Structure 1
Amino acid sequence: MKTIGIIGAMNIEIELIKNKIIIEDERKYAGFIFYIGKYKGLNIILTSCGIGKVNAASCTQILIDRFNVTEIINTGIGGSLNKKVGLCDIVISENVTYHDVRQTQMKTYFPFKEFFTANKQLVEIAVKAYENMSPKEYNYHIGRIVTGETFVCEDELKEKIISRYNPYCVEMEGAAIGHVAEINEVPFIIIRSISDNADDNATLNYDEFEIIAANNSAMIILNMLDLISISEFR
């Protein structure tokens, strides 16, 4: 049976999911709290990893080593780096990479990859999960998500990242989660809903749309779990 690891960076990003699953136990490792539960027959390990790449990577490895998760879903919010991607839209990862690590370094040293590719089946499930939602008050996009150790809120930095990586959105954990998942051969997907435009007005947008975006992403995850549970027990 599948055991699905679900990671959010902040508590607000997992709160809606936490309220929907049946929590059977809690465990704490390395400061992270892991909620062990069930959702429509699926085994779920839900956790909040905190902000940043090191926290995200550490938490992901614990999910793999301690709980033997069969796939990893990362939910949360991000900043738009594409004119097509509006506030509260959903971005589904095609692949993820770091915007604050030189690409030559990633290619030259382990794991010898410029980016980490999301599982195609999970991407298909995410798209179907969106299509099953009603009403649809925002759009979805499939593309590259970039990660770095900074909250991008300056036009100049935003344009530099766009010119180098052509991404759809930016955040602070996804590539670390994808990195750890891929080297452990665990399928993963990163889902983000847009809280801001990663520009000079990002802080104002973030304060207004943070909770809405977090819940938008969580709803996609719950719809994905519905679809996975149907497939698992068919």
Structure 2
Amino acid sequence: MKKIGIIGAMQIEIDLVLEKMVVFEESRIAGFPFYTGLLNEKEIVLTLCGVGKVNSAACTQILIDKFNINYIINTGIAGSLNEEVGISDIVISTDVTHHDVRKAQMKNLFPFQETFIASEELRNLAIKVCEFKNLKYHTGRIVSGECFVEDNMIKGNLVKDYSPACVEMEGSSVGHVSFINDIPFLILRCISDNADENASEAYTDFEEFAGNQSASVVFEMIKII
């Protein structure tokens, strides 16, 4: 049976999945909690990585090394970087990259990738779920960095440089670590804000809804994976 790793950065991003899991074992490694059990009769390891790329990279590597994961899904919330991507919409990753690392460095230094390509199999499953649930969704690039974007100038530069659908703080490192370990991955986000001067207020209003919306897609994906 395939074993699926599910990663969220914040408690609100994993609560729905955790509530629906049958947990057999809870362990803690390097401060990260790992919940092993069943979800929709599939073997699952659910973990909470904390905010930021360093945390998510470390947690992803532990998930791979200690739990023999076959797939990784990173669920959570993000800020929109595209006028067509609205609050509460779902973004399904085609690829991910670090927006705070120079493109030349990404290309010329290990692992020699400007972006990390998400699993087509997992992406198609997410699309199928969104269409079944009649959710508005988008496929596209997700960019990550070690900051919460709430500035129109920064937002404009990200749009110009990367043409992304959304921005957040963990997905690219999950994709990076998955890539170097040859593990299929998907980054799934629900939009909580527009990554502008009103981002903090919108985030506060929509974070719980967005976290649950993204997790609900993951829950349905597990049924058919």
TM-score normalised by structure 2 residue count:
0.99
* Correspondence 1:168 to 2:165: yes
Gaps of 5+ in 2: none
Amino acid at match of 2:140: G
Aligned length: 225
Q: Residue 16 of structure 1 corresponds to which residue in structure 2?
A: 16
Q: Distance in 1 between matches of 2:12 and 2:212?
A: 8
Per-residue displacement from partner, 1:44-69 (whole Å, max 9, x unpaired)? 00011000000000000001000000
Amino acid at match of 1:50: G
Post-superposition offset of 1:40 = 2.3
Q: Residue 157 of structure 1 corresponds to which residue in structure 2?
A: 154
Amino acid at match of 2:219: L
Q: Distance in 1 between matches of 2:39 and 2:151?
A: 40
TM-score normalised by structure 1 residue count:
0.95
1:185 is matched with which residue: 179, 182, 186?
A: 182
Report the identity percentage: 54
Q: Residue 72 of structure 2 corresponds to which residue in structure 1?
A: 72
What do you get for the CA RMSD once the two structures are aligned? 0.6
Give the conservation status (yes or no) of the 8 Å contact 1:4–1:70: yes
* Correspondence 1:127 to 2:124: no
Amino acid at match of 2:192: S
Q: Distance in 2 between matches of 1:40 and 1:5?
A: 14
SS in 2 for 1:162: helix
Post-superposition offset of 1:191 = 0.1
Post-superposition offset of 1:153 = 0.2
Q: Residue 5 of structure 2 corresponds to which residue in structure 1?
A: 5
1:222 is matched with which residue: 215, 219, 224?
A: 219
Amino acid at match of 1:150: C
Q: Residue 84 of structure 1 corresponds to which residue in structure 2?
A: 84
SS in 2 for 1:23: strand
Post-superposition offset of 1:226 = 1.1
Amino acid at match of 2:112: F
* Correspondence 1:204 to 2:201: yes
Per-residue displacement from partner, 1:92-130 (whole Å, max 9, x unpaired)? 000000110000001110000000000000000000011
Give the conservation status (yes or no) of the 8 Å contact 1:129–1:227: no
Q: Residue 112 of structure 2 corresponds to which residue in structure 1?
A: 112
SS in 1 for 2:177: helix
* Correspondence 1:195 to 2:199: no
Q: Residue 232 of structure 1 corresponds to which residue in structure 2?
A: none
Q: Distance in 1 between matches of 2:74 and 2:136?
A: 19
Amino acid at match of 2:162: Y
Moved more, 189-198 or 123-132: 123-132
Per-residue displacement from partner, 1:26-50 (whole Å, max 9, x unpaired)? 0110000000010122110001100
2:144 is matched with which residue: 144, 147, 167?
A: 147
Q: Distance in 2 between matches of 1:83 and 1:40?
A: 36
Q: Distance in 2 between matches of 1:46 and 1:160?
A: 34
